[in-house]
Amino acid sequence: MRRLKYQLKNIRRDKLCLLTFLLPIVVGALIRALPALNFQAMNEISFGSVQGDLSEEMSRWLQDSGNLTEYENVKELKAAVNDPATQLIGVLRAGNGLRVFLSGDEFEMYRTIGETLPQLYEKRADRAVFSKKVIPASEDFDGMKSLLIVITLVTAMFMGCTFNSMNMIGEKEDGVSLVNQILPMDARTYIFQKLALGCIGGIASTLATAFLCVRILPRQMAFLFLLVTLSAYFASLIGLLIGHFSSGMMAGIGCIKIIMILFLAPPIVFYLLTPADSLAYRLSYLFPSSAAFYGLMGLLNGQGEKWLLHLGILFAHAVFLTIVSKKAIFAS
């Protein structure tokens, strides 16, 4: 315990580790502290029209379903529709109805909206009798905000690998790794110490971030804690491997960068773009961060029924990597 205290002191004074620790916390606080920034608005449908072209009723109808931006002339409107960064739908008046033009490079959703918009406008007066039940989003719910929070939390969890890998690489660069070899300490103790460093760093950073930006029920806390612990342990194992096999600081930082990309990008892409019951989505569980990511998304969206599956997958990943790491480290 005393040794761990000094090791923690050492990484606490390492600016890179400190920044790694604080960065998710700061980002989490920013996400929390910016209620004015409505992330959900980013997902709303964007319509563009020419000033004075649409009737007041048309404008109001469009504004009920999305955001309407007016441009000075058709040329400007066309340029905005064509902007590859947007999914803007160009709307012009055609007598009493609407005429739509698209860029042609839109996602299916926006193409369908564009292609059906004139009909929807025509049928606006149809009054089929339906009662309506809309389950409101919790006060905090904002799909995009949840996504950002989960990305931040997963980053914090897997940043755990930075703490022990940087510590081990630092030992190599300072020559302390040579001193370690003549200390009365066996390899297991050393590995345990380094794993503990990564775990403590990862767990503390994630929980501090979660404290700032996650609001969950007390009964969900145990799940969150287990998820964070397993992920941090996994990241710590990765850190151990990076620290052990990296020849120097530059190689280590390069490895961490690649690991962060590999851990963060796949679950985001699969979560956003593949249906939850597809084969691709299921295969994405091969990435250890996917289970953590989906588990946290479910937790924040109130869909916690798969928590056992997510914990199980993470546990399996952790066991597998423990065996692989043990073999790799002792063989070298």
Report in angstroms how near the CB of residue 267 gets to another protein at its nearest: 12
Tally of CB atoms within 10 A around 112: 11
Residues 191-230 interacting with another protein (rule: CB under 8 A): none
Residues 84-103 interacting with another protein (rule: CB under 8 A): 84-88, 90, 99-103
Q: How far apart are CA 229 and CA 130, in angstroms?
A: 47
Q: How far apart are CA 323 and CA 29, in angstroms?
A: 37
3-state secondary structure of 237: helix
Q: Which of 52, 95, 184, 218 forms a contact with another protein (CB under 8 A)? A: 184
Q: Give the burial class of 118: count Cβ atoms within 10 A of its Cβ; 0-12 exposed, 13-18 middle, 19 or more buried.
A: middle
Residues 102-141 interacting with another protein (rule: CB under 8 A): 102-116, 118-120, 123-124, 126, 128-137, 141
Residues 295-324 interacting with another protein (rule: CB under 8 A): 301, 303
- Report how many residues bind another protein under the rule CB under 8 A: 98
Binding to another protein by residue 78, rule CB under 8 A? yes
Residues 43-62 interacting with another protein (rule: CB under 8 A): 43-46
Piece in contact with another protein (CB under 8 A), picked from 40-48, 197-205, 223-231, 317-325: 40-48
Binding to another protein by residue 15, rule CB under 8 A? yes
Q: How far apart are CA 257 and CA 265, in angstroms?
A: 12
Distances (CA, A) of 239 to 157, 191, 202, 249, 313: 12, 11, 11, 13, 20
Between residues 222 and 276, which has the closer beta carbon with respect to another protein?
276
Q: Give the burial class of 80: count Cβ atoms within 10 A of its Cβ; 0-12 exposed, 13-18 middle, 19 or more buried.
A: middle
Q: How far apart are CA 202 and CA 256, in angstroms?
A: 14
Q: How far apart are CA 160 and CA 200, in angstroms?
A: 8
Binding to another protein by residue 178, rule CB under 8 A? yes
Piece in contact with another protein (CB under 8 A), picked from 180-188, 214-222, 229-237, 314-322: 180-188
**Length of the chain, please?**
332
Distances (CA, A) of 300 to 97, 138, 150, 203, 263: 42, 10, 8, 18, 20
Report in angstroms how near the CB of residue 149 gets to another protein at its nearest: 13
Report in angstroms how near the CB of residue 268 gets to another protein at its nearest: 11
Piece in contact with another protein (CB under 8 A), picked from 17-25, 52-60, 200-208, 315-323: 17-25
Between residues 91 and 230, which has the closer beta carbon with respect to another protein?
91
Report in angstroms how near the CB of residue 198 gets to another protein at its nearest: 17
Report in angstroms how near the CB of residue 229 gets to another protein at its nearest: 26
Piece in contact with another protein (CB under 8 A), picked from 204-212, 249-257, 306-314, 319-327: 249-257
Residue 178, both tokens: 């040579």
